Amino acid sequence: MKTIQVQGSQGVSTIYVGESLRNVGKYLPEGRKCVIITDINVKKYYEQDFPTGSSMLPIDVITISTGEEIKTLATVEIIFRELIVIGADRSTFILGIGGGIVCDITGFAASIYMRGVEFGFVSTTLLSQVDASVGGKNGVNFDSYKNMVGVFCQPKFVICDTALLKTLPSDEISNGFAEIVKHALIADAPMLDYIEVNTEKALALDSQVIARLVEDSVKLKASVVQKDEKESGERKKLNFGHTLAHALEKLKPIGHGRAVSIGMVAASSFSAKKGLITDSECKRIRKVLKSLNLPIDLNDLVNPFNELLNKSDSSMNGLSCFMDEIFSAMTKDKKKDKDKISFVFLNGIGNCIVEKITFKDLQQLFMKSNKRMRI
Ligand SMILES: NC(=O)c1ccc[n+]([C@@H]2O[C@H](COP(=O)([O-])OP(=O)(O)OC[C@H]3O[C@@H](n4cnc5c(N)ncnc54)[C@H](O)[C@@H]3O)[C@@H](O)[C@H]2O)c1
Ligand SMILES: [Zn+2]
């Protein structure tokens, strides 16, 4: 097991990579009420391993549904009502057991229930182990805005139990690899070499390869968050590929990592157009994402985008309609600053820069890069 710490403004968060869900009891505060928040799938697979508490202090379980569409204030309200029925007070500890959606909702609900109670996570998806559960960003979507309402608040602890990944559907494993590749591209070139050499083992969830990738990702994210917890500078780099990704996610639920994969291909292509990386580096990025079963162009999303693509195929007019929809969603990004947005470009593999760019310039880069929707 590896232990990594994040020093946040309100305390330390400790991440245990390789610890088991079965041992979570020893991290819970003694003599205090604890409530678990999980989702229906995680409960189905792992309820027998959840801590149960004692006869004096049994641990209640609140179960939510799944999918990006339930990441809303309405779900937070349901949780509040259940917490009140259970009798949760300010000393209650809330434990989220699940993927990024459970962690984002649990962290947010715990941070505002009774002005804030302590919380921790057992992270059960690859994406949440390498990204979502680490760093203290908690929140929900609002109307068509992703992660629009939330707080910065560090969990007391995060347990990344890599053994839980064996029940994850393969698409969800690939979603996690997208964020791992993102870390390699923005700050860790040797990690990209390692992924290329170990692709087969990574896809087969080889325990050593997964442990190294999760640990390196957590270390990288922890060091970025420690320098800039509230995202005023350095942390913006973690948004590489996310401007387009969030726009795609708004149009259709395609999975966060898959959207990030397409977003990273586009951002790499924009970086090449600015002369910051070479065309062969762009090709290398596409190849590694493809080898991890991630989509690298909009045509790879044929199923979820079928309707729009059919419309687009019928005429160039339809095609630009589709681009317009994506672009209009991009301009609704919560991180925009009037007519500009901070955009992350690669500056070589393993390095990146954040630049403010107008939506007009971004649109030009986007349209130039999209001949027949090839990014
Ligand atoms: N807070 C952050 O810093 C941050 C960073 C990145 C992503 N996110 C957010 O994370 C969310 C995506 O998270 P995710 O990809 O983990 O998705 P998710 O939480 O929806 O989990 C994916 C699916 O896997 C199921 N599942 C979870 N663990 C399982 C297991 N061990 N075995 C079998 N099935 C399991 C879930 O029930 C769900 O159906 C998005 O909302 C994204 O915005 C947040
Ligand atoms: Zn992400």
Looking at the chain, list the stretches that DSSP marks H as alpha helix, in order from N- to C-terminal side.
40-46, 73-86, 100-112, 126-127, 170-187, 189-197, 199-203, 207-227, 242-251, 256-273, 279-291, 306-314, 316-330, 359-369
- Residue found by looking up tokens 């997964």 in the block: 210
CB-based contact 369:269 (threshold 8 Å): yes
Residues belonging to the active site: 115, 137, 179, 221, 231, 235, 239, 242, 246, 256
Nearest CA among 217, 241, 20, 41 for reference residue 134: 217
Q: How many CB atoms lie within 10 A of CB 169?
A: 10
User: Which protein residue has the closest C-alpha to ligand 1 atom 25?
Assistant: 41
Nearest CA among 259, 225, 37, 307 for reference residue 146: 259
User: Which protein residue has the closest C-alpha to ligand 1 atom 14?
Assistant: 100
Instruction: List the chain residues with pLDDT less than 70.
Output: 299-323, 369-375
Q: CA 94 to CA 110: how far, in whole Å?
A: 7
- Residue 315, pLDDT score: 44
User: Which protein residue has the closest C-alpha to ligand 1 atom 8?
Assistant: 132
Q: Is the CB of 145 under 6 A from ligand 1?
A: no
- What are the structural domains, with CATH classification, of the chain? 2-167 (3.40.50.1970), 170-369 (1.20.1090.10)
Nearest CA among 115, 104, 113, 114 for reference residue 141: 104
Helix (H) or strand (E) holding 357: strand 352-358
- Residue 321, pLDDT score: 67
**CA trace torsion 296, 299, 300, 303 (10° rounding):** 150
- Over residues 244-268, the pLDDT tens digits come to 998 888 887 889 999 999 999 999 9
Q: CA 205 to CA 178: how far, in whole Å?
A: 15
CB-based contact 109:79 (threshold 8 Å): yes
Among all ligands shown, which has an atom nearest to the Cα of 179?
A: 2
- The Å distance, Cα 107 to ligand 1 centre, comes to 14
